[in-house]
Amino acid sequence: MPKTTAAKLAQSIAKNDISPVYLLTGEDLFRKQEIIRHITAAVHPDDFNIYSSAADKADLGEALALANTAPVFSDRRLVILTGIEKLRKDPKEALIRYLENPLDTTVLILTHDDSKKFKTEKALSAAATEHGQLANFDELKHEELAMWVKNRLKEQGLNGTFDAVETLCEAVGGDLNALAQEIEKLALYTADREDKNISKEDVLAGVGFSKEENPFALSNAVQYMNKNRALALTDKLLDSGEDPVGVLGKISYPVLKMARIKRMVNAGMSPTEITRAAGLMFWESSLVNNARHFPSEETFLKTLDRIIEADKAFKTSTSSDPKTTIKGVLLTLFAGK
């Protein structure tokens, strides 16, 4: 079967057109998990006919043996292996051999979470598309993200205006977990209202703030390495009278979090381990994937030094120009961007 899109894949699953193999690539974990839930609901396996594990933690021999075994008192067996990019050479070759001749009564779902590495996975890609479906789930940006939000609102019976969708995307960023939560909150917020048109004001009220600007917007811009937006928000906050120490705090908190994540990624920890060790909420999982865009540890150290210097200058009133001081912190972080 040829490669397909995420949208077409969802349509085929909705029609109960289930393939023996699914290879889900790209770094958008949220949409992958949604597709896995849809496939699981369609297959509806009982406890005797489902196996799920991170690939690098699994006994791959056992997993493939199960995939090659007929289901027990059921039409289909479901086997899920996530993060197969971490498999070593021999286990990956064993997986490819299975993909070349998969069992029709097994539904094997594989996720590959490293887009750069997947470009070299020619044998894996060819084997998966021969008897199954391959769909890419890149992180949504700009127009695609706005369309996702608009469709998600529609699923909740809501109609988002252009300003509302734009404000929601800017306020929350590209984290689909967080966006989905905010949309659920909007559905509750408007539950007793006949008018289901969501305005910018509804979004501002729904995400829990009354000012024109989201108090988390600057932190989001830092976390998602959006240099121009971070600089513009710094100007806006300081020009509106925001305390420089408070603005610096909106920068220092995400920088510390990003530095911890970067260090753990470099140490070879898995996304699950990093999420737990860094104390991340589940909707912050995209930060682990975004770590490849983060600066080097050396740059983080320089940035943290600038933050300490700025904090001291503000608290001792030795900074004559807070805007220049804070922008110096950001430009250190975004050096080379």
Q: How confident is the model at residue 212 (pLDDT cuts 50, 70, 90)?
A: very low
Single pTM value for the model: 0.61
pLDDT in tens, 138-191: 888 888 899 999 999 999 999 998 888 988 887 777 778 888 888 988 888 888
User: Within 10 Å of residue 306's Cβ, how many Cβ atoms?
Assistant: 22
Task: Tell me the DSSP string of 211-261.
Answer: SSS-TTHHHHHHHTT-HHHHHHHHHHHHHTT--HHHHHHHHHHHHHHHHHH
The domains of the chain are located at 6-136, 140-214, 215-337
Name the packing angle between helices 89-99 and 122-131 (round to 10°).
Answer: 20
Domain range 140-214, CATH architecture = Orthogonal Bundle (1.10)
- Taking residues 331-337, what's their average pLDDT? 84
Residue 216 has pLDDT above 80, yes or no: no
Matching fold, domains 140-214 and 215-337: no
Count of C-beta atoms within a 10 Å radius of residue 158: 19
Token pair, residue 16, equals 């109960």
Strand partners, 78: 50, 107
247-278 per-position pLDDT tens digit = 999 899 899 999 999 999 888 888 888 887 87
Tokens found for residue 17? 């057109």
Q: How far apart are CA 64 and CA 69, in angstroms?
A: 9
CATH number belonging to the domain at 6-136, selected among 3.40.30.10, 3.40.50.300, 3.40.640.10, 3.90.1150.10 = 3.40.50.300
- Please say whether the beta carbons of 174 and 30 come within 8 A: no
Dist. CA 24–CA 111, nearest whole Å: 5
Q: What is the DSSP string of 106-155?
A: EEEEEEE--HHHHTT-HHHHHHHHHHSEEEE-PPP-HHHHHHHHHHHHHH
Q: Which CATH architecture has domain 215-337?
A: Up-down Bundle (1.20)
Residues 13, 39 contacting (CB under 8 angstroms) = yes
Average pLDDT in the chain: 88
Cα(206)–Cα(209) distance, integer angstroms: 8
Mean pLDDT along residues 96-103:
96
